[in-house]
Structure 1
Amino acid sequence: MNQKFKNSKIQKFKNSKIQKFKNLIKLSSILLATLIFSLFGCVSGTRIISHSFGFDFLKDSPDSELLDYRYGTSRVTGTFLSVYGRETGRIEQRNYVGGSIVVGDFLYVKWRNKKTGEIYEDTADLKDKLPHDMEHKIVTFLIKESQLYVYVVTQELHSKGEPDNGPDVYKHFKVVTIYPKTKKN
């Protein structure tokens, strides 16, 4: 009986050591995979940062109808026109997505002027225009007549006396126009 008890204790000890070794292998694999993906992102120039992308054509661009858009190369739903929208022509005129997404290096927008029926499209090159620290910032855009305007919204409140910039919903925040290029930016 003592021998059986001793053998079972030895077996439990061996099993726990084997399990710990397996867990160590799993953890090492996860860490290695994370390192590889991080290095791949650095090498490819891709930055995945917690920030947001959104627009509201109904409020901010009431004289325009959005026909198509794409924020960079992200595959996150909401950063590009959905297949459903493309196939049915039912395109959301208001959208907002946030989280860990690829920082876009361009913004493509296609729209129709509701008054004239004229169709426009523009691609804003965002490379070297977005701040390096995009953490918790918002990329948004609107249309004024035939011009695309792209903005970065910060979490900072703008100074008293400083004019509002960008969409009305962000009028109390510091908003930087990054496209089109102006004397200020």
Structure 2
Amino acid sequence: MSDQARYTVGKGTLLLIEGDITRDDADAIVNAANSALAGGGGVDGAIHRAAGPMLPAACRAIIAEIGRLPAGGAVITPGFDLPARHIIHTVGPIWHGGNSGEPEKLRSAYTQSLARAVENSLSSISFPAVSTGVYGFPVEKAAPIALKAMAEALTAGSIREVRVYLHGKHAFDLWRLAADALFGEITR
């Protein structure tokens, strides 16, 4: 069984889960996308594969309308073949040492994703650990940024539940430490 940690934040719930985001049934899952929304490796590729053949056309239509999606931006598509009804695509920053606006762009990736959920009257949203894979953002720096953005949405009451899917026990443990520091003991 995978690890889980549950926190009460405002009137909402934050869950950390070691597992596969493509199996999640939240109103929306977040895709850690590239700026072309073209699919790729990691969670992006897994979401594209699981969503099925209609997702690429939906992504191409968005790019044709807006151009490339900048780091920190977020757009929404249907979930197609996923259990989740929607996919919110966000582009996290590539880590260049932290002095090139990476923390602000990462925060924006989370806040813009949450804003797309609120705009579409969604109450539950699931995130991967945006930018902490191939983009190289250090997990111990990314987790507090992400968790604070999530806590603001949960406290505002616009989102009922936020889930964070983490790949591997090490990532889960680092996020749990950050969440414990921000929210106190986990609730069961």
Query: Could you tell me the TM-score, scaled by structure 2's length?
Result: 0.30
Please tell me whether Structure 1 or Structure 2 has the larger radius of gyration of its CA atoms: 1
Pick 1 or 2: higher relative contact order, CA cutoff 8 A, min separation 6. 2
Query: Could you tell me the TM-score, scaled by structure 1's length?
Result: 0.30
Structure with greater proportional helix content: 2
Structure with greater proportional strand content: 1
